[in-house]
Structure 1
Amino acid sequence: MLFLLVDDSIGVGGVSGEVYVLYRQWYGQLTAGHFPFGDPTWQYPPGAGVVILSPALLPFLTFFQAFVGLTLAADALITVALVRAGSRPGGSAAGVWAWVGGLPLLLHLPYGRYDVLVTAPAVAALLCLRRTPRLSGALAGVGALVKVWPALALIGTPRGRTTRASWTAALGAAAALLAVLALGFSHTLDFLRQQGSRGVQIESLGGTALQLAHLLAHWPGRVVYRYGAMEFTGPYVSSVAGLALALTALAFCWLLLWRVRARRWTAATPADAALCAVLLFTVTSRVISPQYLVWLLGLAAVCLTSRQTSQRPVALLMLPAAALSALAFPTLYDQVMAGTPVGTSLMVLRNALLLAAALLSCRRLWTSTTVPSAVSGPR
């Protein structure tokens, strides 16, 4: 993975350029005392600034070397945490093998993005929830201020003291970090301006539908570079984007209904619910960047550390989904952008796999927690 990152010659290339150019540019702005403003590529909560500034901890290395070194350290910490979780009573080594075997399926992409650094606190939050719910909540809160989705690590916390302690700690940690960043930097919330105008990325489910329309029905839209991604423009794009937002809202409502109806919690339920929630928000998103699979692999690995998980087949589906994502970007991204039969077929396969995994995850989470144990238990 490190060799591929330095060589960066597979497919369209440019994976390491995210760190060399974009992250380094943001680093310069942050060290000047302000968050990127008026920058359509800066779409992240202010906690992301902490990650971008973190290479300053290793001043004897270049920015690129320090960033990759810290990402490797986060990868190692996740691995150690999964090993320890799998060695507990009722645990399984399948989780750590899913992580160390699954991450390289994304080729060098995980080390050229900051998603491993975001996945680490989410994994830690889930693994320490039972013993130290306040620490779990604080980790999830900090992670949420970096990239939002780690907040979903708490969606499946058992009712009562654990939920109160973890959610309160999450809110407190996020608020404290936000206050520090707001006091230390200007334009802290400028990222909000860049979210509303985002369109439909070519790798999303909606983008795949438009690709099929272009290939089979000669839909006249085209692909343009906007907001740091390749997006569709043309007729019906705004309708597809609106539908995606509506489906995201529907997914959130389903999760709330599940939480109200859930009656049985096992040690695996919080991780199972987190994987289900992130899958739902991934497949309904207007954007499905390949690095999203880093999140899903991390959560799937946590599920597999428990023999009680209901998500085993869902977690295993993340492996071929990761391999297909690496084929799409960077390996055959030129064909994906061009909407060729090969590129379109690849995206149909990857997104159909993610959609099937999300639906299966919902069904298994629902039946394992809402159906009385005498009728159906965790499988």
Structure 2
Amino acid sequence: MSAFRSVPRALARASTRHRLLALTAAWLLTRAAMLWLLAHNTRPLLGRGAVAREVWKLYQHWYAVLSHGAFPAHDTLWQYPPGAGPVLLSPSLLPGLTYFQSFVALTLAGDALIALALARAGTRPGRRLLGAGYWTLGLPLLLHVPLARYDVQVTAFAVLSLLALGRSTRACGALAALGALVKVWPALVLLGTPRGRGSRSAWTWAAVTGAAAALVLVGVFRNPLAFLRQQGGRGVQIESLGGTALAFATHAGWPGRVRYQYGALEFTGPHVTTVAHVSLALSAAAFGPLLLWRLRARRWTPATPYDAALSAVLLFTVTSRVISPQYMIWLLGLAAVCLTSRETGQRPVAALVAAACLVSAAAYPTLYHLVASCTWTGCALMLVRNGLLTAAAVLSFARLWGATRPAAPRRQPGPGPHRLPRGTLSPS
């Protein structure tokens, strides 16, 4: 009898091994294709070299400044928290390679770490490998852009933080804090931690780790808060929701123009400041429904922290003044974490995010000149991409809200209109 019982288990283990081998092969093939695209990024449909230029020109310039113990305080392009400094210095860990080669190699390592963590989580009882497959096949939808931005490294902090929650709230909080020091958004992954001792532990460790790491960075580098001045001066980027509205307005006679400033193509002209202020107000207002959800949520499942993180980052993404293509990397990572759980309600949201990635890749780098010129095609691309993201944000929050509200008690069926309770005499 025991031999018969062991057969399904053996088949399950074999099936899991086969899926892991398939995932490994898919990761190797897709990453080779991404590297090929990066090596040929000077072609017109691949960005004419603009994608790789971010690393070998801008990041490498900042590396030279950071190597002397200071943040680039007077550079309007420097808009990142102090934790970005060590990430941009990390290519020095691989001697014998150029800065560009080392950066890409470390980005691939971060990508592999995410895939490995998702695969490991997916093999646990009650979990699925769908998240690892989603990340493996989803990241290449953005072509070679992820290899030339440091958002993969930031996403790794957020993904590892969420996956660590079930085993160590301390590690969850510490990783979220380190990610927030690099780019602020990973702090949002703590929004859905279950109430009680575990949540207090995660937030406490996040605060302690963040404060300690910040003190170290302040002691090592000069001008650690210089990024605030540059970040505050940013306008409305052409890829944002506000930018899409202004792009269509140019066809109605609005006299605004697109200009390269603060490291991005932004709109200048009448009412741009108003649109920027509205975006900031909407981002601040996004805290309202999230806080209300946190206060009124009653049901927590293992997937709730994952779903809440994706919902929160989506809300802040669609209300941003920027929505750069690399923001899609964040959403892919968080959606992949959701898909590791069988209890997630975010599967249709993950599909919308993947569709938005496809359109985003068409807009940048493939047809970015049409977006920058505010042609009808460029406007349509951004309308579809941002429409998908907005739909994803609304659907994500709605499903999160519904999944965490207590189920209504089932009413016991009463006697029908023509059926009398047992024991009641029928009328004569």
TM-score (normalised: structure 2): 0.86
- 1:373 is displaced (CA, Å) by 6.5
| Farther off after superposition, 329-338 or 51-60 | 51-60
- Does 2:407 align with 1:372? yes
- Does 2:153 align with 1:120? no
Contact 1:71 1:111 in 2 (8 A): yes
Distance 1:60 1:161 in 2: 48
TM-score (normalised: structure 1): 0.97
Contact 1:156 1:270 in 2 (8 A): yes
What is the CA RMSD across the aligned residues, in angstroms? 1.0
Distance 2:322 2:379 in 1: 16
Aligned ranges 1:288-327 → 2 under 5 Å: 288-327=323-362
- 1:372 is displaced (CA, Å) by 2.2
Opposite residue 367 of structure 1, the aligned amino acid is G
Distance 1:196 1:119 in 2: 24
Point out which structure has higher relative CO (alpha carbons under 8 A, 6+ apart): 1
| Farther off after superposition, 1-10 or 267-276 | 1-10
Cα 1:374–1:324 change in 2 (3 A) is: farther
Opposite residue 40 of structure 2, the aligned amino acid is D
Pick the aligned partner of 2:254 from 199, 215, 219.
Answer: 219
What is the aligned partner in structure 1 of residue 381 from structure 2?
Answer: 346
Cα 1:130–1:373 change in 2 (3 A) is: farther
What is the aligned partner in structure 2 of residue 37 from structure 1?
Answer: 73
What is the aligned partner in structure 2 of residue 71 from structure 1?
Answer: 107
- Does 2:287 align with 1:248? no
- 1:361 is displaced (CA, Å) by 0.6
Opposite residue 66 of structure 1, the aligned amino acid is S
What is the aligned partner in structure 2 of residue 28 from structure 1?
Answer: 64
Query: Secondary structure at 1:224's aligned position in 2?
Result: strand
What is the aligned partner in structure 1 of residue 231 from structure 2?
Answer: 195
Distance 1:317 1:198 in 2: 28
Query: Secondary structure at 1:188's aligned position in 2?
Result: coil
Distance 2:357 2:253 in 1: 30
Aligned ranges 1:1-379 → 2 under 5 Å: 1-8=34-41, 9=43, 10-215=46-251, 217-372=252-407
- 1:13 is displaced (CA, Å) by 3.3
What is the aligned partner in structure 1 of residue 28 from structure 2?
Answer: none
Query: Secondary structure at 1:131's aligned position in 2?
Result: coil
Query: Secondary structure at 1:273's aligned position in 2?
Result: helix
Opposite residue 226 of structure 2, the aligned amino acid is D
Distance 2:121 2:91 in 1: 29
Deviations 1:301-351 (A, max 9, x none): 000000100111001111111111111111000000000011010000000
Query: Secondary structure at 1:231's aligned position in 2?
Result: strand
Deviations 1:34-87 (A, max 9, x none): 011111111000000010011111122111111111111111110011111111
Percent same amino acid at aligned positions? 63
Structure with larger Rg: 2
Contact 1:12 1:331 in 2 (8 A): no
- 1:12 is displaced (CA, Å) by 4.1
Distance 1:223 1:197 in 2: 16
How many pairs does the alignment contain? 374
Distance 1:296 1:12 in 2: 26
Contact 1:12 1:332 in 2 (8 A): no
Opposite residue 201 of structure 2, the aligned amino acid is A
- 1:178 is displaced (CA, Å) by 0.8
Deviations 1:99-125 (A, max 9, x none): 011100000000000000110010000
Q: Which runs of 5 or more residues in structure 2 are unaligned?
A: 1-33, 411-428
Opposite residue 373 of structure 2, the aligned amino acid is A
Contact 1:12 1:333 in 2 (8 A): no
- 1:374 is displaced (CA, Å) by 5.3
Distance 2:117 2:386 in 1: 30
Query: Secondary structure at 1:306's aligned position in 2?
Result: coil
Distance 2:279 2:174 in 1: 30
Opposite residue 374 of structure 2, the aligned amino acid is G
What is the aligned partner in structure 1 of residue 19 from structure 2?
Answer: none
- 1:11 is displaced (CA, Å) by 3.6
Query: Secondary structure at 2:286's aligned position in 1?
Result: helix
Deviations 1:121-141 (A, max 9, x none): 100000010110000100000
Contact 1:83 1:93 in 2 (8 A): yes
Distance 2:408 2:215 in 1: 45
- 1:371 is displaced (CA, Å) by 3.9
Deviations 1:176-204 (A, max 9, x none): 11111111110111001111111100000
